Each structure stands twice: as C-alpha cells, then as structure tokens.
Amino acid sequence: MIPYIEHSPEKRSTAEVAKISVVTLVDDEISSKSELILNREAIPDKDFKQVISPPGGFEEASIRFLNNKENSSKSRTQTVATRVSSYNAFGQSFDMVLNTTAGTTVTVVLENSLSSLNDDELLVLIDKHTGIAYELNDGNSAEITPEKDKTELLFVVGTEQYLEEEHAGYLPDEITINQNYPNPFNPTTTLSFSIPEKSVVDVSIYNLLGQEVGRLINSKTLSAGSHQLRFDGSAFSSGLYIVRYTVDDQHFNQKVLLIK
C-alpha cells in the first residue's frame, strides 16, 4: 500500500493562508492525505486552483476533497486537492468523500496544519448520512466505520454559529426509532435511531415479564445524528423481546423477534 500525498501548487501566495492536511489512518498506519489551503485575500475565480490526484482505490482508505465544478465527467477529478479562498467571513464548507471497504474503521485527523485560523474558528467533519459531526480541533480525531464503500462528508471551517447552520441540514427534526434489521433475526440484528441534539441515551433489552436481560448503551452522551448498534441474541432463547430506548427523559419501546 503506497499512500498518495497531494501537493499544492508550487507558486505560493503572499496572502494570509491556512494550510489544512486531512489524514486517514487504518490500524494506526497512514493510508491517505489531502491538503486544503484557505487564502483569505485571494480573488474569486482568478486565484482558484486545484491539483488533480491519481484515481483513488489503491489505498485501504482514502479521503479526498471533491471538485465542485459542475458537469465533470472525468474520474480523475473525483479526487482533488483544492486551493480556494475563504469568501465567507464566518466560515466555509467543502465536500469530501471517504472511500474504503464497508465496515472498516477509519481514523481521520489533521496533521501539521499551518494555520492562520482565528481562535473562534472550528474544524469539523460532518458525515452527511448520519449527521454526526466530529470536531478536529486541538488534536481530536474522528473514528468512522462506514456502512458503504463510499461515504459523503462535509468539511467545515468556521465559527460555532456557522457550523450550527451547516450542521442543521443533516440532522433529524425529532427523535426517530427505526425498524431493526433483520426482524425476525438469528442471532444478531441491527438497531438504529436518530436524535436531533446531543443527549444522554440508554438502550436496554427486556423480556415479556418486564425483566431487564441486557443493556446495550448505559447512560452515554451521544452527539446529534443517526446511530447504530448491534443486538446479539446468542445467549437468549427464542421469543419476543422489548428494546427500551431512553433519550434524556423520553422513553421508546420496540418489539424484536428472535427465532433460533
């Protein structure tokens, strides 16, 4: 595995810039790196530059900034490093894509970022599918285990208010408990639910006698967005069970059927 490192244009601007390197790791090994340069004094269109990288797919996991130009049909332009200006004083967002085998846990971090960002500016990665936001400031990392080989992301640089506005478009309006799959199941099933804001969550399993027989989440604070977990019924006998979700002070029950 040979990670491809994207390079920005050789000609450097003397304007104030923020250089951001987004890195993916699998099993603590770097698999890809994409670089973004924000030029606060660049002239729109004139100073817009991009560096085309080789087609992705040879890395175990790769993350790329997407080419925002419309009607692009070339596969090579699906993976680009982009040099852009920050037109919005409050923030800016960039489409990204994470390519890896579904089920592979990928860690995303920022590496050696040469930054002129203001103290109130955040660096956040939003999973467009789940709505979960990962703050990458101060050495924080994001651990993503995609359900599909291709995951669409949004990279946001800006103030907390700008982030909230961008994030709102990917969040559910209310608490939603989705149908487990498969159902009936043997011996495992996937449970999924969505929450519109950060909440303390409990997920417990009860039998028909009202006895708690298992706990999947124990008073854990979860971020807003969609969440999945697996219920393994290997140690249980066949029958109907109740999954009880507690989100802050609200309670929801779901029936699931285990057939062996």
What CATH number did the domain enclosing 242 receive? 2.60.40.2550
Q: Across 72-81, 163-172, 194-203, which has the greatest mean pLDDT?
A: 194-203
Residues 198, 116 share a domain? no
User: Residues 247, 195: contact at Cβ < 8 Å?
Assistant: yes
Domain enclosing residue 106, as ranges = 17-168
Cα(195)–Cα(175) distance, rounded to whole angstroms?
Answer: 5
Q: Are residues 183 and 162 in the same domain?
A: no
Domain edge (last residue) among 168, 195, 228: 168
- Is the pLDDT at 5 greater than 60? The verdict is no
Query: What would the mean pLDDT of 121-134 be, rounded to a whole number?
Result: 92
Residue 113 three-state SS: coil
Q: Which of 168, 191, 217 is the last residue of a domain?
A: 168
Whether residues 138 and 196 share a domain: the answer is: no
In this structure, the answer to whether residues 196 and 150 fall within a common structural domain is: no
pLDDT at 57: 52
> Partners of 241 in the beta sheet?
256
The reply to whether 185 and 164 lie within a common domain is no
pLDDT at residue 71 above 90? Answer: no
Counting beta carbons within 10 angstroms of the beta carbon of residue 13, is it exposed (0 to 12), middle (13 to 18) or buried (19 or more)? middle
Same domain, 137 and 208: no
Q: Is there a single domain that holds both residue 189 and residue 76?
A: no
pTM of the predicted structure, to 2 decimals: 0.74
Q: Are residues 108 and 189 in the same domain?
A: no
168, 185, 213 - which closes a domain: 168
Strand partners, 134: 125
Residues 153 and 32 in one domain: yes
N residues, the chain:
260
Q: Are 156 and 245 within one domain?
A: no
pLDDT of residue 45: 53
Residue 112 has pLDDT above 80, yes or no: no
